[in-house]
C-alpha cells in the first residue's frame, strides 16, 4: 500500500493548518508499542492550531488495512518532547516515514528534536531536576521515618530522572528505555542503578549510599540544571512572584515542584528574594524572586 495515496490525506492537502504527516507500519508479530497495537499503520498528522488534546480517528482502506490517525498540534508535540509525556508518540514521530511535509517543516522539527538543542534541552533538564529533587527529598523523609521500601521506590525513580538529565546534557533525547540508553553511552549513573538494584548489601545500606550520591548531585548540578529558570528571571528587571513564574510559558510544564527548586536556589544564594512593600488585602507582604 502506498501511504501517500490515502484518500483522507488528499482531502486535507488544501488545509493550510496542516504541516504534514508521518507514518509507521506494524512489523508483523513484533511488538510496536501501544500506538500500533492492533493497527497495521499509524499516521501522525501535525497541524498549527493550539489544542489541548490529540484528535484520533480509526480508518480502514480498500485493502482492509487498519489505520490509526492521530492529529496533534505542533506546540503540544513540542511540549510532549520537553515533558516526556506521550513518549511513544514522540518516538514514532522521530522514527516514522515522512509522507507529507509542507515546506520541509517536519524535517526541521525532527532535526531540532534529534539534536535536542537549547532551549528545548534546558527546559527538559529543569523539569527532570525538579522531579529528581522532589523524589530525593521524599526518599530522605521516608528514611527518617524508617520506611525503607518507600524510600527505595522514591530513590529508584529519582535515579531515572538523573539519568535523563545526563542524557540531555549530552544532547541525547531520552527515550522510554532510558537505562538501555544509559548503559549504551556508559554514563556513571548506571553504576548507582546497579548498586541500588543488585548490591548484596541490605536495602537500607543501598538506599543510604545512593542518597549520599544524590545529595552531592543536588549541590553540584543545581546551577547548571536551573538555566531555563535563570533565563526567565533575567528577562525583566522587576522581581517575579511564584505565580508569575509558574504561569510563564517557559516554566509552566514544571508544575508545583518549581516552588521547591526556587527555595533551594534561594538557600544556595543562587537567586535572591525580596519582600514587596505593598501588602495584600489580607495584610501579608509578597515574596518575589530575582537574579543579579
| Mean per-residue pLDDT, 77-104 | 88
Position 6 scores a pLDDT of 65
What b/e sequence results for 94-104 when a residue is b if at least 16 CB atoms lie within 10 Å of its CB, and e otherwise? eebeebbbeee
All domains in the chain, ordered by first residue: 3-115 (3.30.460.10), 118-224 (1.20.120.330), 226-292 (1.10.10.10)
**pLDDT tens per residue across span 238-271:** 999 999 999 999 999 999 999 999 999 999 999 9
**pLDDT tens per residue across span 158-199:** 999 999 999 999 888 888 889 999 999 999 999 999 999 999
User: Within 10 Å of residue 187's Cβ, how many Cβ atoms?
Assistant: 21
Q: Is the peptide bond before 119 cis (omega within 30 degrees of 0)?
A: yes
Mean of pLDDT over the chain: 88
Helix/strand/coil for 203: helix
Position 129 scores a pLDDT of 96
**pLDDT tens per residue across span 27-86:** 765 555 677 778 889 999 998 876 667 788 898 887 788 899 999 999 889 888 888 888
* Distance of alpha carbon 16 from alpha carbon 63, whole angstroms: 29
Using pLDDT thresholds of 50, 70 and 90, give the confidence band for residue 278.
low
Higher model confidence: residue 103 or residue 225? 225
**pLDDT tens per residue across span 123-149:** 999 999 999 999 999 999 999 999 999
Higher model confidence: residue 27 or residue 209? 209
| Mean per-residue pLDDT, 88-117 | 87
Q: Are 44 and 93 in contact (CB under 8 A)?
A: yes
Distances (CA, A) of 53 to 57, 73, 74, 110, 215: 13, 8, 11, 21, 38
Q: Are 151 and 185 in contact (CB under 8 A)?
A: no
- 203-225 and 120-144 helices cross at what angle (nearest 10)? 150
Amino acid at each position: 500500500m502506498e501511504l501517500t495515496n490515502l484518500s483522507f490525506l488528499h482531502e486535507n492537502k488544501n488545509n493550510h493548518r496542516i504541516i504534514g504527516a508521518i507514518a509507521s507500519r506494524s512489523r508483523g508479530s513484533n511488538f510496536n508499542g501501544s500506538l500500533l497495537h492492533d493497527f497495521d499503520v499509524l499516521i501522525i498528522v501535525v497541524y498549527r492550531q493550539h489544542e489541548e488534546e490529540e484528535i484520533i480517528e480509526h480508518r480502514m482502506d480498500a485493502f482492509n488495512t487498519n489505520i490509526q490517525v492521530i492529529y496533534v498540534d505542533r506546540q503540544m508535540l513540542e511540549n510532549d518532547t520537553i515533558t516526556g509525556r506521550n513518549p511513544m508518540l514522540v518516538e514514532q514521530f522521530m522514527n516514522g516515514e515522512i509522507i507529507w511535509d509542507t515546506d520541509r517543516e517536519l524535517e526541521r522539527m525532527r532535526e531540532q528534536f534529534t539534536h535536542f538543542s537549547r532551549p528545548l534541552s534546558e527546559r527538559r533538564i529543569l523539569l527532570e531536576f525538579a522531579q529528581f529533587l522532589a523524589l530525593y527529598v521524599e526518599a530522605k523523609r521516608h528514611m527518617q521515618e524508617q520506611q525503607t521500601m518507600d524510600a527505595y521506590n522514591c530513590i529508584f525513580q529519582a535515579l531515572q530522572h538523573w539519568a535523563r538529565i545526563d542524557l540531555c546534557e549530552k544532547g541525547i533525547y531520552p527515550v522510554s528505555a532510558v537505562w538501555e540508553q544509559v548503559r549504551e553511552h556508559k554514563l556513571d549513573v548506571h553504576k548507582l542503578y546497579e548498586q541500588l538494584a543488585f548490591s548484596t548489601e541490605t536495602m537500607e545500606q543501598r538506599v543510604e549510599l545512593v542518597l549520599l550520591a544524590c545529595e552531592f548531585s543536588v549541590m553540584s548540578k543545581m546551577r547548571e540544571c536551573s538555566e531555563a529558570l535563570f533565563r526567565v528571571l533575567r528577562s525583566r528587571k522587576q522581581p517575579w512572584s511564584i505565580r508569575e513564574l509558574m504561569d510563564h510559558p517557559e516554566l509552566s510544564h514544571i508544575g508545583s515542584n518549581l516552588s521547591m527548586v526556587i527555595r533551594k536556589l534561594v538557600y544556595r544564594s543562587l537567586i535572591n528574594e525580596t519582600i514587596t512593600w505593598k501588602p495584600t488585602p489580607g495584610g501579608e507582604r509578597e515574596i518575589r524572586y530575582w537574579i543579579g
